[in-house]
Every structure is written in C-alpha cells, then in structure tokens.
C-alpha cells in the first residue's frame, strides 16, 4: 500500500527550480535511498515531506491525504526527521530524550529510552551529560533515537552517518534494518555513500538538477549505473 505519493511536485525559490515535476509513489514499509550530486535537491525533498517547506506546485499525499491539510505537529509525530548535523538542545541527554513524549502529550517511557540508548551503544550514565560533553557521533546517535521514541511511521534521515566512523555507521544501519523488520517503518534516507545505498536501500531515488532521473529497485539501479559507465 502506498504511504507517500508525490504528484508533479515542484519547488521554486528565488526563481530557481530546486525541484521539478517530481512524481513518485512510496510504498509502506520500504527502505528508500536518495542519491544524487551535491545541490541536486535531496534535502529539499525531505524538508517538503516534513512540512518544513511547502511545494510551489503539485501535491504531496500522505495516506492519500494532501499533507498541507495535516496539522504539522500531528504529521511530524508520524514522520520523523533527523538532520545531518544533529541538534540537541541545552539540557541533559535525558531532557532531550523525554522531550518528544511531552511534545506529543505522551507518557515518558524510561525503559524504552534505556533500551534505545543500549542499542546505539551509549551508556546509561550519559543520560545526565549535556551536548557539550558529547562527541559529534554520540550527539548524532542521540538525535537519531530521539526521533524514534514516539514510534514514527516514516523516518527521514539526511546523511546521518556522514560524520561517523565505519563501526558506528554499521551499528546504525543494523538498527535501521532491525527497525524496518520489526516495526513496519518506512525509511527514506539521503546518502552520498554508494556502499551504504547498496547495503540498506530496497529502492533508490536518483535526483539530478531537481528532477528524479531514476526510481528503481536497488539492484536495477546499480546495474543501470554500471552499464552507463561502460
Ligand atoms: N532556502 C533556500 N533558499 C535558496 N536556495 C536554496 C534553499 N534551500 C536550498 N536551496 C538550493 O537548492 C538546491 C538544492 O539544495 P539541497 O540542500 O536540497 O541539495 P542536496 O542535494 O541535499 O545537496 P547536498 O548533497 O550538498 O546536501 C541548492 O542549489 C541550494 O543552494
């Protein structure tokens, strides 16, 4: 079943076509990788899906309803978003992790917080640290689990492993795979890492100059790429 559909979506900023005529359907419970050159519009597409910006043409549907008709807070409870540069606010790690529950009027689940910290190999004792006492990679892992605690149906990940070492990258990839297997989540991730795309994506959206050039199963995408390089 489709969860997100884009119908001729365009984004025009200062007379520049950032995205043009994007039409695609994303099925529920799939892992989608977005690839493409720098400045091609990948992050802009994620921002549109999270209602941080609005399309200037066309329509985006979430569960067959125009996303512009959703309450942004309600939509963001279902569609989580993690930025490349993690943003943790002042306060402790625990404050950061409890915040999504308060924001959406839910009961804080301390056991869940502890189990997620364990899954991303952050000791429980770090709960009382502030972001200034954490490495960039630790902040990224905390921002990542913060987006998951309220159980989004869709997760948008913008190059979240770009600044991480290989072991931590694989740790997060395994986490995403497990989550996808057990929680029926749809994950849409931007990456410049072609091995990661191969390891993680079931389908690939390739964007160039604001347009979707390829939307295909990962194997087909890599086969087509190999052919074009010959
Ligand atoms: N708010 C904005 N105002 C003006 N131009 C913008 C704005 N946001 C993005 N752009 C432009 O839109 C284009 C696409 O940017 P975007 O960040 O979506 O690309 P990207 O594919 O994610 O790039 P990268 O791989 O380098 O992160 C770029 O040319 C960028 O300069």
- C-alpha 99 to ligand 1 mean position (Å): 29
Residue-number span of the structural domain to which 197 is assigned:
2-229
pLDDT at residue 150 tops 90: no
Burial of 184 (C-beta count, 10 Å sphere; 0-12/13-18/19+):
exposed
Pocket test for ligand 1, best of 10, 22, 39, 45 (most atoms within 8 A of CB): 39
- C-alpha 13 to ligand 1 mean position (Å): 10
For residue range 189-225, list pLDDT tens digits in order.
999 999 999 999 999 999 999 999 999 999 999 998 8
Nearby residues of 206 by Cβ (< 8 Å), 6 or more positions away: 34, 35, 36, 212, 213, 214, 215, 221
Number of domains in the chain: 1
Please report the pLDDT score of residue 39 as a whole number: 96
Indicate which CATH number applies to the domain containing 42. Answer: 3.40.50.300
Q: Whose CA is nearest to atom 7 of ligand 1?
A: 13
pTM, rounded to two decimals: 0.94
Complex ipTM: 0.96
pLDDT at residue 230 tops 70: no
* Two structure tokens written together for 165: 């070492």
For residue range 165-180, list pLDDT tens digits in order.
999 999 999 999 999 9
Which ligand 1 atom sits nearest the alpha carbon of residue 210?
Answer: 14
**Closest listed residue to residue 159, CA positions, set 39, 43, 49, 50:** 43
């Amino acid at each position: 079943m489709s969860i997100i559909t884009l119908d001729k979506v365009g984004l025009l900023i200062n007379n520049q076509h950032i995205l043009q005529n994007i039409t695609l359907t994303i099925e529920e419970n799939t892992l989608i990788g977005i690839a493409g050159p720098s400045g091609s519009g990948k992050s802009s597409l994620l921002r549109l899906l999270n209602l941080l910006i609005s399309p200037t043409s066309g329509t985006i549907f979430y569960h067959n309803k125009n996303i512009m008709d959703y309450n942004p807070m309600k939509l963001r409870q279902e569609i989580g978003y993690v930025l490349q540069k993690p943003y943790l606010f002042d306060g402790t790690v625990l404050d950061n992790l409890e915040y999504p529950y308060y924001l959406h009027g839910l009961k804080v689940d301390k056991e869940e917080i502890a189990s997620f910290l364990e899954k991303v190999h952050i000791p429980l004792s770090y709960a009382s640290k502030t972001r200034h006492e954490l490495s960039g990679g630790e902040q990224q892992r905390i921002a990542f689990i913060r987006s998951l605690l309220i159980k989004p149906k869709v997760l948008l990940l913008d190059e979240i492993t770009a600044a991480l070492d290989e072991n931590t990258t694989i740790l997060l990839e395994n986490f995403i795979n497990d989550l996808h297997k057990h929680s029926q989540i749809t994950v849409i991730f931007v990456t410049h890492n072609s091995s990661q795309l191969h390891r993680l994506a079931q389908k690939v959206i390739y964007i160039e100059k604001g347009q979707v050039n390829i939307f295909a199963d990962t194997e087909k995408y890599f086969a087509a790429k190999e052919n074009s390089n010959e």
